Amino acid sequence: MSANGRTLLRPSLLNASVFEDFFKPWNELVDSRWPYLNQAPAVNIKETGNNYEIIMAAPGLEKKDFKIDVNGTLITISAEREEEKEEEKDDLYTRKEYSYSSFSRSFTLPENIDSSKIDATYVHGELKLLLPKKEEAKKTSHQKINVH
């Protein structure tokens, strides 16, 4: 919970490792030599008066590649894509290539989310999830208290 009393979206324990600092030198070495090793897309999370928005940069995918699961207060966004290309020039030359990529990101949802009304759209390489707040959460007003 933040200082202003609101629960924030925070990464799931499944993604945030307590060993991250311990393995940081190794991860930096691996990431600098193989920049495509870490395939998790960047995520922006925004709160408005009526909802939260999760915006994920995921170019090159299709709507059917995504899987979004809500289990209690945990939302998991994952995608999987497999592509295969085959090229035959003649009997002596054949080339066949395939690629596979996947990712999974999990977040803990605040208690004020109406999970039955979560909506997702994918347009121009950007996945956008709209997480509406429950009606009673929308009614709470912000109030400043003067110190005397």
Q: How far apart are CA 4 and CA 7, in angstroms?
A: 9
pLDDT per position as a tens digit, 129-142: 999 998 877 676 66
55 pLDDT band (50/70/90 cuts)? very high
| Percent of the chain with pLDDT strictly greater than 90 | 37
**Domain architecture of the chain: domains with CATH:** 10-136 (2.60.40.790)
Amino acid identity, position 145 = I
Strand order in the sheet with 93-108: 10-11, 93-108, 74-90, 66-71
Q: In this predicted structure, what is the pLDDT of residue 25?
A: 52
Which pTM does this prediction carry? 0.62
β-bridge partners, 77: 68, 105
End-to-end CA distance of the chain: 27
pLDDT at 8 over 50: no
Q: What share of the chain is helix, strand, coil (3-state, %, to 5)?
A: 15, 45, 40
Q: In this predicted structure, what is the pLDDT of residue 70?
A: 94
Select the highest-mean-pLDDT range: 8-17, 20-29, 84-93, 108-117.
Answer: 108-117
Q: In this predicted structure, what is the pLDDT of residue 19?
A: 46
Window from 81-90, 105-114, 115-124 with minimum mean pLDDT:
81-90
Sign of CA dihedral 24, 67, 71, 57: positive
Q: In this predicted structure, what is the pLDDT of residue 129?
A: 96
